[in-house]
A and B are shown apart, each in its own frame.
Chain A
């Protein structure tokens, strides 16, 4: 009885008691199935028959040595990085404007940013197909203007994915950045200006460094969403231009190679988790300064 009592007290103090229902739910519906995949990823695959008995690390070895897999992993990471940078470069000025504008249209402008999220992902992706196809709006317009003679290939390759994914994930970056920039203390910027810093110096020495935590948070979000996106790469990449998520999908559902699919999933997860912990460590270091 007394031990139970002290346990309850301990839980109370840590706040774990309060957290435990959602924590338990996450554990059951998310972590357990994930962990259930772990043994599968170490089982052999027998073509035509399915999962065999025994223990093997061949799926991991293959994924990390085979040039076909390596290219896809590399392409996925490159896509994640470039989409993140694109969203950052496009999103920061927009977020800065939205955070600072005194316009009474501000709520409507915010809605405009969020608006794409209200459309179904598949619809948005098909929209991009209509725009980017060889006989799509973009190419037709460029040809009509005489800027190009033959259509630029924008579908089933890197540029198509880059354009569509940047569009789809931009709102996330903007929303995170608006929150952070709105909370920057204006006095601090004013102080910089009174001390002799012009517009550029104030921005680069004060505003930008202080919004780094938001830049980091938004970037992690967009990166993780990009490398794990399935629908858009599936539709815009076609059957041949693959990224990790479509590769995993194919392994599971086309080839029924669950072990390889599971192994690739864990590699993707490891990359994401590694990146998040790296950058949250970085954020804490910057937080120590901030």
Chain B
């Protein structure tokens, strides 16, 4: 068990920097999600940590040791692949035993540890099966047992859920989280799914175009995104463009592109900005509240989804807002004139970088 620290990691393919100076640390025993759209370089980062890709710059430290120049097979890390990558010509037990054999562990101890690892992932009855006789979830458990049985210093998870159906995915998510907590292993989890990233991690690192956009706890990331990209990628927030005018007590005063004034939280001094408003923080009311940012609006689309309902409303200047309200209170028909409003405390200002 050790902490992981990346220091200015760089990987170029030709003239393109797939990973462009990533510095990051994962505390011992904690779980960090590395999330971003496909092609953002997150898998490249993970493969560099594993040693499968050689970085063009930067260092990788595990438990304080610089492992950048250490060969893959000597790094002692556990990696779970998107494809599971089980050995098709070996049984489940042989798959799990592989790493122990390579480490020269005594035969009797191997059997005991394999048995224990399979119990841990609840595959005790399937030890003699071939991988192709297993379901997707069982294959994944095997891959997990195989990675963990060698007691690696780090656990690396590369999109482990993307080949599972939705139901199994939820189950495995909880399963992996439970195992990670039990074992207490430092984990780097790569995913393109923001829901998975938030749901599993202690810390979330959002990557875009080879760079880190923000590293924060799931709550902080959601409440106070540092950039328009993060705000949109995590939770698909409404982004209103405007200009920072000045400060009024706790809040910033912004002139929106429509000309209307709005108030929001933020640190920005001046200049072009985006106001981030979460869908669930927009209220649809008939009479505006004095202290809120209130705008006249028309319902364009109403979509009922059980626990929640989605609305698309259009403001007077044509700006469209996505609104999420509790399903029980959703009774607005398209065409209804309404007031859309949100509190300044629920809005965040981020710089507008086009």
A residues near B (Cβ < 8 Å) are 185, 187-188, 190-198, 201-202, 205-206, 209-210, 286, 288-290
A195 and B99 contact, CB distance less than 8 A: yes
How far, in whole Å, are A266 and B192 apart by their CA atoms in the complex? 62
- Does B259 touch A at the CB level, under 8 Å? no
The 5 closest A-B pairs by CB, nearest first: A195-B99, A196-B102, A187-B85, A191-B85, A193-B72
Q: Is there contact, CB below 8 Å, between A188 and B75? A: no
Q: How far is the CA of A114 from the CA of B77 in the complex (A)?
A: 43
A194 to B51, Cβ gap below 8 A? yes
B85 and A198 contact, CB distance less than 8 A? no
Q: Is the CB of A198 within 8 A of B89?
A: no
Known: A196-B99, A196-B102, A289-B130. A191 touches B88 (CB 8 A): no
Query: Is there a chain A Cβ closer than 8 Å to B233's Cβ?
Result: no
Would you give the shortest CB distance from A283 to chain B, in whole angstroms? 12
User: Which A residues are CB-close (under 8 A) to B147?
Assistant: 194-195
B85 — which chain A residues lie within 8 A by C-beta?
Answer: 185, 187-188, 190-191
Q: Is the interface of B mostly helix, strand, loop or mixed?
A: loop
Separation in Å of the B48 CB from the closest CB of chain A?
A: 13
Picked from B89, B98, B130, B143, the residue with its CB within 8 Å of the CB of A209 is B89
Question: What are 16 A-to-B residue pairs whose CB atoms are below 8 Å?
Answer: A185-B85, A188-B86, A190-B79, A191-B86, A191-B143, A192-B87, A193-B52, A194-B51, A194-B147, A197-B73, A202-B73, A206-B87, A210-B88, A286-B89, A289-B88, A289-B130
Contact assessment for B87 and A194 in the assembled complex, using a CB-CB cutoff below 8 Å: no
Question: How far is A209 from B98 in the complex, measured between Cα atoms in Å?
Answer: 14
Q: Is B295 positioned at the interface, with any CB of A under 8 Å from its CB?
A: no
New A-B pairs, 12, CB < 8 Å, besides A190-B72, A191-B143, A194-B75: A187-B83, A194-B50, A194-B72, A195-B99, A195-B147, A196-B76, A196-B103, A197-B73, A197-B98, A201-B102, A210-B88, A290-B88
Q: How far is the CA of A202 from the CA of B72 in the complex (A)?
A: 12
Cβ contacts under 8 Å, A206 to chain B = 87
A185 to chain B, nearest CB (A): 7
**In the complex, what residues of A have CB within 8 A of residue B75's CB?**
194
Give the residue of B71, B78, B89 whose beta carbon is less than 8 angstroms from that of A210. B89
Instruction: Please report the C-alpha to C-alpha distance between residue A134 and residue B253 in the assembled complex, in whole angstroms.
Output: 99
Is B211 interfacial (CB 8 A cutoff)? no
In the complex, A205 Cα to B75 Cα: how many Å?
Answer: 19
Given contacts A191-B81, A210-B89, A290-B89, contact A196 B52 (CB under 8 A): no
Interface size on B, residues (CB 8 A): 30
Set of chain A residues within 8 Å of B50, measured between Cβ atoms:
190, 194
Among A185, A191, A201, A210, chain B packs the most CB atoms within 10 A around the CB of A191
A205 to B73, CA, bound (A): 14
Q: Which of B208-238 contact A (CB under 8 A)?
A: none
* Given A190-B52, A191-B81, A196 contacting B86 (CB threshold 8 A): no
Interface string of B156-193 (1 = CB under 8 A from A): 00000000000000000000000000000000000000
**Chain B min CB distance to A43 (Å):** 50
In whole Å, how far is B44's beta carbon from the nearest beta carbon of chain A?
A: 14
Which among A195, A196, A202, A205 has the highest number of chain B CB atoms within 10 Å?
A195
CB distance from B275 to the nearest CB of A (A): 44
Q: Chain A residues near B90 (CB, 8 Å)?
A: 289
Cβ of A194: which chain B residues have Cβ within 8 Å of it?
Answer: 50-52, 72-73, 75, 77-79, 147
Residues of B within 8 A of A (CB): 50-52, 71-79, 81-83, 85-90, 98-99, 102-103, 130, 143, 146-147, 150
C-alpha spacing A198/B103, complex, angstroms: 11
User: In the assembly, what is the distance between CA of A187 and CA of B150, in Å?
Assistant: 19
Partner of A188, one of B74, B87, B130: B87
Residue of B nearest to A201 (CB): B102
B102 touches A195 (CB 8 A): yes
Partner of A191, one of B71, B74, B79: B79
Contact A195 B89 (CB under 8 A): no
Which chain B residue lies CB-closest to A286? B89
Max count, chain A CB within 10 A of own CB: residue among B52, B78, B130 = B52
* Closest CB in chain A relative to B155 CB, distance in Å: 11
Task: Evaluate contact between A198 and B51: CB separation under 8 angstroms.
Answer: no
Cα distance A192–B143 in the bound complex, in angstroms: 12
| Docked complex Cα distance between A244 and B337 (Å) | 95
Nearest-neighbor residue (CB-CB) of B74 within chain A: A196
- Smallest CB-CB separation from A289: which chain B residue? B89
Cα–Cα distance between A193 and B75 once the two chains are bound (Å)? 10
Contacts of A202 in B (CB 8 A): 73
Q: Is the CB of B73 within 8 A of A196?
A: yes
Given contacts A185-B85, A188-B88, is CB(A197)–CB(B51) below 8 Å? Answer: no
Bound CA–CA A65/B100 (angstroms): 55
Contact of A198 with B79 in the complex, beta carbons under 8 Å: no
Q: Which residue in chain A gives the minimum CB-CB distance to B52? A: A190
Across the two chains, which residue of chain B brings its CB closest to A209?
B89
Measured CA separation A206–B81 after assembly (Å): 16
A6 CA to B313 CA in the complex, in Å?
61
Please indicate the chain A residues that have their CB under 8 angstroms from the CB of B103 in the complex.
196
Closest Cβ–Cβ distance, residue A284 to chain B (whole Å): 14
Residue contact B146 to A195, C-beta cutoff 8 Å:
yes
Q: How far is the CA of A228 from the CA of B135 in the complex (A)?
A: 46
Q: Which residues of B contact A195 (CB under 8 A)?
A: 73, 98-99, 102, 146-147, 150
User: A260 to B113, alpha carbons, bound, how many Å?
Assistant: 65
What is the chain A residue whose CB lies nearest that of B90? A289
A193 contacts across to B, CB distance below 8 A: 51-52, 72-73
State the CA gap A188–B81 with chains docked (Å).
Answer: 9
Give min CB distance, B95 to chain A, whole Å. 9
A251 → chain B closest CB, angstroms:
46
- On whether the beta carbons of A198 and B73 are closer than 8 Å, the reply is yes
Q: CB-CB < 8 A to B102: which residues of A?
A: 195-197, 201
